[in-house]
């Protein structure tokens, strides 16, 4: 049986691999563009697992980067400290963890006054399922039970990212949800940009646009044709 330290090391290595991109995929389930390459459609459980990996990849890529002068990162102490959020509102720490949202890692950060990088990586892995499940409830409430399971895992991952990183969550982007429901990639691109408190576009918009573009080979559109 692996020691606690070895398990921690393996967990950190996996999270680092996710953050590096392309999408960390030890089971070999993904093809070009991060699309499922197995036989038929992945199960709901597989979609959830893959969507959570995709969320972690994107969160750690766009929320903060310690090697590039990440906001709140102290390279001498090797710690993350709270900082103002780009979008405004509550303070954030490390990879977009809102200190006002509760949960064990927000509580740990408030109690300690900081997070180590190992804690920050673990926080992303631990927090992602909560936001994924919230996004599922929001989507199914709008389109009916099971509608979420009809989406591809990367569509789920993209929508759950709005639950994670936006004040008001996914519900504040109804047109983006409609575009995802219809499989309308062009509309998803139009409705996806986010802005900071001063109405300036966020840098993460480019990464999200790339991920949305990657859906084109795999997402059937049910959007009405122009002129209909």
Q: Mean pLDDT throughout 46-65?
A: 85
Q: Mean pLDDT throughout 62-85?
A: 79
CA 194 to chain CA centroid, Å, is 14
The helices-and-strands tally (H runs, E runs) of the chain is 8, 5
Q: What percent of the chain has pLDDT over 70?
A: 72
Among 97, 88, 85, 218, smallest CA distance to 164 is for: 97
pLDDT of residue 220: 62
pTM (two decimals): 0.73
- Say if residue 27's pLDDT is above 90: no
CB within 8 Å of 59: residues ≥ 6 apart: 95, 96, 124, 128, 161, 164, 165
Split at pLDDT 50, 70, 90, the class of 103 is confident
Tell me the range of 60-64, 75-79, 174-178 where mean pLDDT is highest.
174-178
- Say if residue 28's pLDDT is above 50: no
Per-residue pLDDT tens digits for 109-157: 999 999 998 899 888 888 899 999 999 999 999 999 999 999 988 999 9
The answer to whether the CB of 175 falls within 8 A of the CB of 167 is no
Query: Which of 63-77, 125-139, 182-196 shows the lowest per-residue confidence on average (mean pLDDT)?
Result: 63-77
Among 162, 140, 171, smallest CA distance to 208 is for: 162
Q: 81 preceded by cis ω (within 30°)?
A: no
pLDDT of residue 15: 46
CB within 8 Å of 25: residues ≥ 6 apart: 53
- Say if residue 21's pLDDT is above 60: no
Among 128, 163, 162, smallest CA distance to 56 is for: 128
pLDDT of residue 43: 80
Q: How many angstroms separate the CA atoms of 120 and 117, rounded?
A: 5
């Amino acid at each position: 049986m692996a020691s606690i330290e070895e398990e921690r090391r393996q967990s950190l290595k996996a999270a680092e691999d996710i953050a590096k991109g392309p999408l960390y995929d030890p089971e070999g389930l993904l093809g070009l563009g991060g699309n499922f390459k197995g036989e038929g459609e992945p199960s709901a459980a597989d979609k959830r697992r893959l969507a959570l990996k995709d969320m972690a990849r994107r969160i750690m890529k766009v929320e903060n980067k310690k090697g590039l002068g990440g906001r709140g990162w102290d390279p001498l102490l090797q710690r993350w400290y709270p900082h103002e959020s780009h979008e405004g509102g509550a303070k954030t720490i490390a990879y977009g963890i809102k200190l006002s949202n509760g949960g064990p890692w927000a509580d740990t950060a408030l109690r300690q006054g900081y997070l180590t990088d190992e804690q920050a990586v673990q926080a992303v892995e631990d927090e992602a399922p909560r936001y994924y499940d919230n996004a599922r409830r929001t989507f199914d409430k709008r389109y009916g039970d099971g509608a979420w399971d009809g989406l591809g895992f990367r569509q789920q991952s993209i929508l759950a990212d709005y639950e994670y990183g936006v004040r008001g969550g996914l519900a504040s982007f109804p047109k983006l949800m409609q575009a995802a429901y219809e499989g309308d990639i062009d509309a998803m691109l139009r409705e996806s940009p986010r802005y900071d408190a001063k109405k300036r576009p966020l840098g993460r918009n480019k990464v999200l646009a790339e991920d949305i573009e990657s859906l084109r080979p795999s997402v059937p559109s049910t959007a009405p044709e122009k002129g209909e």
